[in-house]
Structure 1
Amino acid sequence: MLSRLGPLLRRNVATMAARRAPAEPLLVVLGSTGTGKSDLAVELATRFGGEIINADAMQLYHGLPIITNKISKSEQRGIPHHLLGHISPDEDPWDVETFKREAAKVIGEIRGRGNLPILVGGTLYYVDAMLFTDVILDDVHSDPAKSFPVLDGPTEALLQQLRKCDPVMADRWHPNDRRKIQRSLEIYLHTGKPASQFYAEQRERRAAAVKGVGASQPWEKLLFWVYSDRAVLRERLDKRVDKMLDAGLLDEVRELFEFKRKKAAGDQVLDMTKGIWQSIGYKQFEPYTTALVETKDATDVDKLKRSGLDDMKSATRRYANYQTKWIRLKQMRRLQEEGPEAQDSLYLVDSTDASRFTQHVVEPAAALTQQFIRGEARPPAMELSERAREVLSRAGDPPPRETPCQRTCELCQTVLVTEQAWRRHVKGASHRRVAKKKKKLALVSTESQEPAMMGSASPRSSPEIGSMF
């Protein structure tokens, strides 16, 4: 889609960008983990009097610098960093509304000091809340005077209630996705209107905005997508995990493990599905840590360590792919919906060659930031480099629309919420692996029953057998 809009952008973007200097500028640094987002943000802050706001959910937590991959004090180079190490490990993770409220407060304080706010981080639904209106239904606010005990019930009960008042949303969410189910039900209870209706109206407003209907706020944001080729990034991430291990990763895993045991001793059950417990590294090395505490066989412990390392590398690579996909599909489409000025505010800078980071990333970003702050004309995003043209021309085009249809795979004990997801699942390696394993177990079970069947017949035949001797 971007490629089709290219000629139009080339004619109009210079005029648009040169109209005015932004009254409330915001720089945003995006990208998957391991691409160099933090390094670019610090460099821009140093050059343009900036302060950095963290938008990484795991880095909100205090301590644990290795497992959360926090930027060190020396790497911060004296630049103020906000919302970094901000909450205790035993606190629930911030939801989008909380992050948006706190980040907006910090941004206001930074601007009050005459400095430039720079938002950087890989939790992209946090970033989207700061960039786009209606992403979290901003016009729907919970009334604190109202109390609905049902919202504190088990997830299954919430889903049953949601099916009664908003079956469209109930079919959309996975049965275990408590947060989304609870939010949809909360919207209905506080407003009396189904969340699905709010979302339908939201889509209509966006469509109208694209057509130029209605007043729109000026777009005063400049975005940098720090991008690295997948193969290069894969190797870089694997090496980073090795360095994390050498730097003391397992000490932090042990720290969290002991924290969990202490809570359990006090009859406190932690929700391991959210918060710091979802940081990449803890889950993968918890079996190893448990084995160390239980003093199992050294060979088994060593195997668990190697397995944990491999699993952590795989999880890190999957997360990087997920972040890239989010930018390419979700954020680029939302920028398109905001209009041409927003669409051409995202510039891709290539960090594939780490030895040329300054030349390929810092210098282009600094030049564009200077033009942005001064209100000067900027080049179209796809003309920044061949890599930018290659990647951006393929970004933003929506994938085929998926058909809502909940189906349960009894074999894998998993629920799929669209017909396309079901097809991908049954064709996937994981499903085939489970099916093959169960078939093998069934075969072994059948073979093990055959001697028993023969044995059950032997008493009846024993007289004849005895007569043979």
Structure 2
Amino acid sequence: MATHTAPAEPLLVVLGSTGTGKSELAVELATRFKGEIINSDAMQLYDGLPIITNKISVEERCGIPHHLLGHIPLDHAPWDVEDYKSEAAKIIREIRSRGNLPILVGGTQYYVDPLLFKDVILDDVEIDPSSSYPILEEPTDVLLEELKKVDPIMAERWHPNDRRKIQRSLEIYLHTGRPASELYAEQEKRKAAAAQEPETNQPWEKLLFWVYSERETLVERLDSRVDKMLDAGLLDEVQELFDMKKKKTAEGQILNMTKGIWQSIGYKQFEPYMSAKEEGKDLADLAKLKSNAMEDMKAATRRYANSQTRWIRLKQIPRLKEQVPKAFESLYLVDSTDVSQFKTKVVEPAAEITAKFLSGEPQPRHTELSELAREVLTRVSEPPPKAIPCKRTCEICQTVCLTEQAWNRHIKSAGHKRVMKKKKRLALVPVDDTLDTPSDAEASSDPDVTSIFAA
């Protein structure tokens, strides 16, 4: 009789974009397999604001312990990756010590990855919280000019409007005295060397579920969710943040609006409405601002969901394929497109696979779970060719492209052709700044192309 070896340190991970049902599946699995849940959503780390951060309610938790949910005050700086990795790893050990199953769930994938993969962040870069560098709060163009002086390689890599990446590269230099480009190059050498080493016998004891909804259905679901959030009291929470900002500003504090709770989808979209309301604008103006904020919030939510899926497809899946054999086969896609069949198509298949995983029994092939699983996993198993870095600026459209592929897409785009046609028609040399630029929809569809006017 064949013997089965149960995993000694099992970890369940529930991935997926917002609105697909990750939390619901995690609770179901925790209920059936003595699980405890660890939140990996950056906004849900903050205490309060359950609507704007989309926290699972106490009732929906069904008595299952949820860790790192509502864990830090609203005015605290966001956790960096190392903070999260350290605390989550400690909690995972504690859960196992109780004989329970740790289940990691949430949408901030760069929090998840360091718990799954080796050397995905600069582990040897320690940020000293006692050190303060005022330059990091300067405008983005100032940060970029400073980065060009100390690390021109990284400065050339980033889009001039990408404040977060520019700031992080400069922060690494300020805290370590070494360019981030050098540290990343060393990291790549370590990964290349590890790939040449003989395979270790360390088992891969992780089971991943990708809760997936087809895009058209998901978009409708997300738009409807924003409407429900408004009815549930979203504006009360936006007002709370608005008042907190006013209070801290009055006290002389300089707030970094590009980090922390201020990046929650909903606040920045409704802030102009709150300001106008405080100024006593007429009802017609307020109604228009509120309507625009709703549409902006829906668009931002859709973009966020798309970026989460892209991360899984372009970062996590390639990393799974680089790990020990069979790691990619441990990723199961469950289809949550039809909410009425959530139990049949999501919960039951996931529970059956989890039972086999925990007992050490052979699991089904991940491409055989459903037709959608076969289609999506087959498609994403072969990632697109790696983009060739090549920063170019289209002076006509005032658009920056970061890769050769993005440049080729841009010059063939309808927006670029429209501008060229207008230029030719008006015979303007040079083109004046009244020319049309590619639409927001065209720009946002390509992550390597961003209009300078969108800053």
Instruction: Indicate the TM-score class for this superposition, using the shorter chain for normalisation.
Output: 0.7 to 0.9
- The question of 1:364 aligning with 2:349 is answered yes
Q: Indicate the residue corresponding to 2:328 in structure 1.
A: 343
CA RMSD across the alignment: 3.1
Gaps of 5+ in 1: 1-14, 444-469
Following the alignment from structure 1 to structure 2, what is the Cα–Cα distance between the partners of residues 145 and 85? 22
Q: Indicate the residue corresponding to 2:112 in structure 1.
A: 127
Question: 1:402-457 CA distances to partner (integer Å, 9 max, x unpaired)?
Answer: 222333456776654333334445666777899989979759xxxxxxxxxxxxxx
- The question of 1:182 aligning with 2:166 is answered no
Instruction: Say which SS state the counterpart of residue 93 (structure 1) adopts.
Output: coil
Q: Indicate the residue corresponding to 1:137 in structure 2.
A: 122
Cα pair distance change 1:306/1:164, threshold 3 Å: closer
Matches within 5 A, 1:6-405: 20-138=5-123, 140-142=124-126, 154=138, 163=148, 166-175=151-160, 176=163, 177-185=165-173, 189=177, 194-205=182-193, 207-208=195-196, 213-215=198-200, 217-405=202-390
Cα pair distance change 1:192/1:335, threshold 3 Å: closer
1:185 positional shift: 2.0
Cα pair distance change 1:131/1:250, threshold 3 Å: same
Give me the TM-score of the superposition, normalised by structure 1.
0.82
Following the alignment from structure 1 to structure 2, what is the Cα–Cα distance between the partners of residues 189 and 264? 33
The one-letter amino acid paired with 2:314 is: L
1:167 positional shift: 3.9
Instruction: Say which SS state the counterpart of residue 271 (structure 1) adopts.
Output: coil
The one-letter amino acid paired with 1:241 is: V
Following the alignment from structure 2 to structure 1, what is the Cα–Cα distance between the partners of residues 229 and 240? 15
Question: 1:210-244 CA distances to partner (integer Å, 9 max, x unpaired)?
Answer: xxx25353211000000111111111111111100
Range moving further from structure 2, 417-426 or 231-240 = 417-426
Gaps of 5+ in 2: 436-455
Contact persistence 1:184–1:195 (CA under 8 A): no
Cα pair distance change 1:186/1:424, threshold 3 Å: farther
Contact persistence 2:173–2:180 (CA under 8 A): no
Following the alignment from structure 2 to structure 1, what is the Cα–Cα distance between the partners of residues 129 and 108? 31
Instruction: Say which SS state the counterpart of residue 379 (structure 2) adopts.
Output: coil
Following the alignment from structure 2 to structure 1, what is the Cα–Cα distance between the partners of residues 128 and 279? 47
Q: Percent identity?
A: 61
Instruction: Say which SS state the counterpart of residue 293 (structure 2) adopts.
Output: helix
Following the alignment from structure 1 to structure 2, what is the Cα–Cα distance between the partners of residues 270 and 54? 26
Contact persistence 1:62–1:85 (CA under 8 A): yes
Cα pair distance change 1:368/1:402, threshold 3 Å: same
Contact persistence 1:224–1:347 (CA under 8 A): yes
The one-letter amino acid paired with 1:293 is: E
Following the alignment from structure 1 to structure 2, what is the Cα–Cα distance between the partners of residues 195 and 327? 25
Q: For the pair shown, which has the larger CA radius of gyration, 1 or 2? A: 1
Cα pair distance change 1:146/1:305, threshold 3 Å: closer
1:137 positional shift: 3.0
The one-letter amino acid paired with 1:204 is: A
Contact persistence 1:225–1:347 (CA under 8 A): yes
Question: 1:276-321 CA distances to partner (integer Å, 9 max, x unpaired)?
Answer: 1111111111111111111112111101111111111111111111
The one-letter amino acid paired with 1:35 is: T
Cα pair distance change 1:440/1:393, threshold 3 Å: same
1:357 positional shift: 0.6
Contact persistence 1:61–1:88 (CA under 8 A): yes
Following the alignment from structure 1 to structure 2, what is the Cα–Cα distance between the partners of residues 332 and 127? 13
Cα pair distance change 1:20/1:309, threshold 3 Å: same
Q: Indicate the residue corresponding to 2:445 in structure 1.
A: none
Cα pair distance change 1:114/1:183, threshold 3 Å: farther
Q: Indicate the residue corresponding to 1:11 in structure 2.
A: none
Question: 1:67-102 CA distances to partner (integer Å, 9 max, x unpaired)?
Answer: 000000000011010000111111111111111111
Following the alignment from structure 1 to structure 2, what is the Cα–Cα distance between the partners of residues 259 and 39? 32
Question: 1:373-392 CA distances to partner (integer Å, 9 max, x unpaired)?
Answer: 11111011101111110110
Following the alignment from structure 1 to structure 2, what is the Cα–Cα distance between the partners of residues 106 and 232? 35
Following the alignment from structure 2 to structure 1, what is the Cα–Cα distance between the partners of residues 279 and 49? 24
Contact persistence 1:169–1:196 (CA under 8 A): no
Matches within 5 A, 1:399-438: 399-408=384-393, 415-425=400-410
Matches within 5 A, 1:442-453: 442=434
Q: Indicate the residue corresponding to 1:457 in structure 2.
A: none
Cα pair distance change 1:394/1:186, threshold 3 Å: farther
Instruction: Say which SS state the counterpart of residue 91 (structure 1) adopts.
Output: coil
Following the alignment from structure 1 to structure 2, what is the Cα–Cα distance between the partners of residues 147 and 295? 42
User: Looking at both structures, which has the greater relative contact order when contacts are Cα pairs under 8 Å and sequence separation is at least 6?
Assistant: 1
The one-letter amino acid paired with 1:340 is: P
